[in-house]
Structure 1
Amino acid sequence: MIESCPRKRMLLGISFLGALTVFVLIVESHWTEKNNSRKRMFPVEQNSTCWERETFEIIQECQPCTDFEIASKSIGVCIHTHYKEVLKCASGEMVTRSCDKVAYIEERLFWKFESFMFVAAFISTFCVHIRKRVLNKRMLQRVQRQLANSV
């Protein structure tokens, strides 16, 4: 059945599925950020948990720890997840806590992967097209030889 689909309809279907995939990824990423109801337990420097009982302000967004901080264990929260963020509680206390992952790094890795897959798909399509032309040319030459031998 798929062999009988015209090229335009096939490209339209693939484009639609690609757009649907990107749409689902965008909606899912926004939905999980807003509706993340489970409480995460991350290690906190100096055993301060003021951010659990007070309002707090994020001073420094989640960012990767340096290799020095991880190796020297100078910031204890870097040992667990290799990411840290700095908070300022309502009482004025500054707290460093572990966090999951850095959003901009994850997004950059995602788009690198998508770009690589697009290039790989383009190269594969090009190779298939070239191979198809070569096989068609061989078949045409064979038919011409058979016609020339039968005359």
Structure 2
Amino acid sequence: MIEFCSKKRMLAVVFTLVTISVVSVVLETRWSAQHKVKEISRKGKGDSNETCKLGKEKVVESCRECLADELFSEKKYCQETGFRTVVACEDGTKIMRMCSGTQWLEERNFWIFEGVTFAIGILSYGLVVIRQHRLDRMLREKIDRQIAADI
């Protein structure tokens, strides 16, 4: 069925699909960012976040992914988001809190996914071209045999 499409039609379809994909990614990114801000502001400091007793604190380690053993042991600060930050209190104690994750990590994962998808697409295209050349060669050989048999 696809072999009946002209190159212009195929390019138009591919261009349309790429445009739709880009628009949907942009819209989803904006909606997702707004949605997360509202959700985090509604949560505030939940019961899974510890606080310093004196109120003064300093961030020791910025927001990072929880380690595998923390997720496995079901720590409170890793349950909701899977990210944690380390805070040092004025009295010297260190506590861990949940945080919403980092935007760059989500973007990195998205671009890794896009890169893998692109690589699979290029590989698939290459295999289709190779297969088409093989089928064309087989057809030429068959026609050559038919012409040689008629002489």
Q: Give the TM-score of the pair, scaled to structure 2.
A: 0.67
Q: Which residue of 2 aligns with 1:45?
A: 50
Q: Which residue of 2 aligns with 1:132?
A: 132
Matched-pair identity in %: 27
What is the alpha-carbon distance in structure 2 between the residues aligned to residue 28 and residue 42 of structure 1?
30
Change (3 A) 1:42 1:98: farther
The alpha-carbon deviation at position 148 of structure 1 amounts to 1.0
1:45-94: CA deviations, max 9, x gaps? 1488x9xxxxxxx99763224578x39x9x9624664412479xxxxxxx
Greater shift in the superposed pair: 133-142 or 30-39: 30-39
**Runs of at least 5 residues in structure 2 that lack an aligned partner in the other structure:** 88-94
What is the alpha-carbon distance in structure 1 between the residues aligned to residue 125 and residue 64 of structure 2?
39
1:108 maps to 2:137:
no
Q: Give the TM-score of the pair, scaled to structure 1.
A: 0.67
**Runs of at least 5 residues in structure 1 that lack an aligned partner in the other structure:** 51-57, 88-94
What is the alpha-carbon distance in structure 2 between the residues aligned to residue 86 and residue 30 of structure 1?
29
Q: Which residue of 2 aligns with 1:146?
A: 146
Q: For the Cα contact (< 8 Å) 1:42–1:98, is it kept in 2?
A: no
Q: Which residue of 1 aligns with 2:121?
A: 121
